[in-house]
Amino acid sequence: MVHWSAEEKQLIAGLWGRLSAEQCGAEALARLLIVYPWTQRFFDNFGNLSSPTAIVGNPKVRAHGRKVLTSFGEAIKNLDNLKGTFSKLSELHCDKLHVDPENFRLLGDILVTVLASHLGRDFSPACQFAWHKLVGVVAHALALNTP
Partner 1 sequence: MLTAEDKKLIQQIWGKLSGAEEEIGAEALYRMFHAYPPTKTYFPHFDLSQGSDQIRGHGKKVVAALGNAIKNMDNLSQALSELSNLHAYNLLAVLSPVFALQFLSQCLQVVLATRLGKEYSPEVHSAVDKFMSAVAAVLAEKYR
Contact 92, 144 (CB under 8 A): no
Name 43's Cβ contacts closer than 8 Å, sequence gap at least 6: 33, 49, 60, 61, 64
**Region label for 106, one of left (φ > 0), alpha (ψ between -120 and 50) or beta (otherwise):** alpha
Is 13 among the residues that bind partner 1 (CB under 8 A)? no
Reported as type and span, the H/E element at residue 72 is: helix 59-77
Q: Which member of 12, 26, 34, 137 binds partner 1 (CB under 8 A)?
A: 34
55 binds partner 1 (CB under 8 A): yes
Are 109 and 135 in contact, with CB atoms under 8 Å apart?
A: yes
User: Quick one: which of 11, 15, 24, 30 contacts partner 1 (CB under 8 A)?
Assistant: 30
- In whole angstroms, the minimum distance from the beta carbon of 52 to partner 1 comes to 5
Which residues from 82-141 bind partner 1, rule CB under 8 A?
Answer: 109, 112-114, 116-121, 123, 125-126, 128-129, 132
Which residues lie near partner 1 (CB under 8 A)? Answer: 27, 30-31, 34-35, 52, 55-56, 109, 112-114, 116-121, 123, 125-126, 128-129, 132
